[in-house]
């Protein structure tokens, strides 16, 4: 496909970059990215990927917009309180860039639907708010060999890592198991600085674009930790764990695990 005059103008600041150029921009416009969550992280990730011209953005979330979301979830707004988040996100992203097709899934991501949902996408971005989803997304991406950009936030701190199955470690290499209920507080319990989601989501979107372009160094085998209070970024190494139950030499996890019960416990 060739770019129209308008598209050339829209993406001119990208096309000017030697690392992107017309060829890279074409790759971006043909890419299909799946976002888990239309919340704190999903909003900035989707917003920037839409601006960048990613061809198709799938987004799943079962929640509706609430007023307490608006301190950080910038794709939604006051008039849309009560609207499904994925519909609100679709409107926002498509208004920003009509070139982008946003596919909303107002649903819960489960062990039953995840493989089918992500199979036609090139890259998955995790911005979920609970451990059960986080581990399930990791396992599904390892099974289908989909690159995964995982981000998480709490209070003033965020973490990002990029998982390239077979090449690098997976989330279970990093943390073997989810913590038992109650030991790690959720954002709902512990709070989160709204703008932190913008920092972490922007880092995730950057990783996605680098994967699409095949440029730069990914956070593969590394975890970056951002602390907003100290204004510090730190990186630690994440080696591939040979004993990883998911991607090690003798994997013990052969099917997706439903941590549902675990999660509902956590909610109480």
Among 30, 194, 241, 256, binds another protein (CB under 8 A): 241
Report the C-alpha gap between 247 and 144 in whole angstroms. 12
The SS3 call for residue 19 is: coil
Report the C-alpha gap between 94 and 99 in whole angstroms. 7
Residue length of the chain: 268
Among 113, 167, 230, 264, binds another protein (CB under 8 A): 230
H helical segments located in 32-165: 42-52, 85-96, 114-118, 131-144
Site for another protein in 34-53 (CB under 8 A): 37, 39-42
Nearer CB in complex with another protein: 20/152: 152
**46 Ramachandran zone, left/alpha/beta (phi>0; psi -120 to 50):** alpha
Nearer CB in complex with another protein: 97/197: 197
Nearer CB in complex with another protein: 40/53: 40
Nearer CB in complex with another protein: 165/201: 201
Report the C-alpha gap between 102 and 96 in whole angstroms. 12
Annotate each residue in 173-192 with x if it binds another protein (CB under 8 A) or - if it does not, as one string: -xxxxxx---xxxxx--x-x
Give me the residues that bind another protein (CB under 8 A), please.
Answer: 37, 39-42, 61, 63, 69, 126-131, 134, 151-157, 159, 174-179, 183-187, 190, 192, 197, 223, 225, 227, 229-230, 234-239, 241
């Amino acid at each position: 496909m060739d770019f129209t005059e308008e598209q050339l103008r829209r993406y001119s600041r990208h096309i000017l970059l030697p690392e992107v150029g017309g060829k890279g921009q074409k790759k971006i416009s043909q890419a299909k990215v799946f976002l888990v969550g239309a919340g704190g992280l999903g909003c900035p990730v989707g917003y920037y990927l839409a601006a960048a011209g990613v061809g198709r953005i799938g987004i799943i979330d079962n929640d509706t917009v609430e007023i307490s979301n608006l301190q950080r979830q910038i794709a939604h707004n006051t008039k849309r309180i009560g609207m499904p988040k994925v519909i609100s996100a679709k409107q926002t992203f498509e208004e920003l860039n009509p070139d982008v097709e946003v596919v909303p899934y107002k649903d819960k991501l489960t062990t039953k639907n995840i493989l089918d949902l992500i199979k036609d996408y090139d890259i998955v971005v995790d911005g979920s708010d609970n451990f059960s989803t986080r581990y399930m997304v990791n396992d599904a991406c390892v099974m289908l060999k989909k690159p995964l950009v995982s981000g998480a936030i709490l209070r003033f701190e965020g973490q990002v890592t990029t998982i390239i199955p077979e090449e690098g470690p997976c989330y279970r290499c990093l943390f073997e198991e989810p913590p038992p209920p109650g030991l790690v507080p959720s954002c709902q319990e512990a709070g989160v600085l709204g703008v932190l989601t913008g920092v972490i989501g922007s880092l995730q979107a950057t990783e996605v674009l680098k994967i699409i372009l095949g440029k730069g160094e990914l956070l593969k085998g590394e975890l970056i930790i951002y602390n907003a209070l100290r204004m510090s970024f730190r990186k630690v190494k994440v080696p591939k764990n040979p004993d990883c139950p998911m991607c090690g030499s003798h994997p013990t996890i052969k099917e997706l695990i439903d941590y549902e019960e675990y999660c509902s416990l956590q909610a109480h």
